[in-house]
Structure 1
Amino acid sequence: VLEPEPDPPKLGMLTTFDLDEYVHEALRLGAVGFLLKDTPPRELAAAVRTVADGQAMLSPSVTKRLLASYVDRAPSRAEAARGQLAGLTMREEDVIRAVARGLSNAEIGRELRLTEATVKAHVSRVLAKLGLANRVQAAILVHDADLG
C-alpha cells in the first residue's frame, strides 16, 4: 500500500485525446492540468509553470465543455425551489402560497376556513420544515418555484 507523499508532485496531463472521460479521470486522480498536444509551444511552457505552481490549467476546449456540463447538470432555481417544497402537505402548500401573496394569518384563516391559531401553527411548521427564518423567505421560495 502506497502512503501519500507529504508534498506530492504536481501532475498535468498532455494528450491527443480530447475525451471528457479522460479529463474527469485525470482530475479525479489529482491532475491540476489537462492540455492537448496541439497546444502551442509558448502556451505549453506557460502551462507547465502554472501546473508546477499548483494552479489549474485546462485547455480552452476542455474548460468550455466542463463549464457547459456543470451548467447542464445544475438544477434551475425553479427546480431547486420546487424540490425544497416537495415535502409539504397539500394544506401546508396552500398556506405557504397564501403567505407568499402577503396575506396575514387571519386572512389565510378566512380563505382556507381555518382558525388563526391553526394557520399560525401551519406557518411555523412550514418555516421549520423548510429551514426558513421568516415569511419573506417563504414568499421568495414560492416565487422562485413559480408557484405564486
Structure 2
Amino acid sequence: MRVGIVTSVRLLAEAMTRALAARPRPISLTVASSLEELHMLARPPVSVQLGIIDTTQSFDLEPIRAFHRTLPDLPLVALGLVEGEAEVVAHGSAGFCAYVRREDGLERLCGTIEDAIDGRLRCSPEIAAAMMRGLFRSPAIPPSRQAATARAALTSREQEVARLVSRALSNKEIARELRLSESTVKQHVHSILGKLGVATRGQLARSIYEDFGSDAALARTMP
C-alpha cells in the first residue's frame, strides 16, 4: 500500500515511515509538507492510495474541503483527532472518511488505513449516531446558506459565548463575564462548534471574525 502524510513534525514522519514499512503487510509512507505536495503524490509515478493529515497542527478545514473536491476518490484520514461529536462531524463534512485518535497506537492506525482504503469506517456506536445527527442537521444546500442557517440556529446565549470565544477568552473568563458556571460555558461551546461545523475554538473565532468582523456586528444579529 502507498500512503501519503501531511505533517510538519519530522520525528513523527520518520517514526511512522519506519514502523509502517516493518509491518507484515508493509505500508509505504511518503511525507508531504503541504496539501499541494499531497496532491502531487496522488498522481503517477507515486500514486498514493490514501492521504493522512496530521490534525494536531491545527489545520484549517476549508483548504482540506477544497482539496477533497479536487480529489474526491482519495480517502483522507485525520491523525490525532480528539474524538468528540463536533470534531468528528466537522472533519467528516470537510472530506475525511476516517480518523485515528491521539491515544491510539500503531495497530489502530494500520487497521484504520486498511479499512479506509477498503471503504470502511472504524468508530464507536456513539460517534456513528453523532455523524447521523450531523447529516440530518446539514442538508445539501450551498455552503454560504449553510453558514447563515447555522448562525441563525445559535441561541442568544450561544451568540454571547461565541462573541467572547472570538476574543480569545477562556471558559473560566467567559463564565465570570456572563455569570455562569464553567461547565455550562463548556456545554455552550460544544453546542456552538457542532452548529457551526467547526472543530476548534480557533476555527470558531475565525468564523465569527470572517462573518461579522467585530463584536458590534455580531451584537446586531442578537435578538
Q: TM-score band (shorter)?
A: 0.3 to 0.5
Q: Which has the larger radius of gyration?
A: 1
* TM-score after normalising by structure 1: 0.44
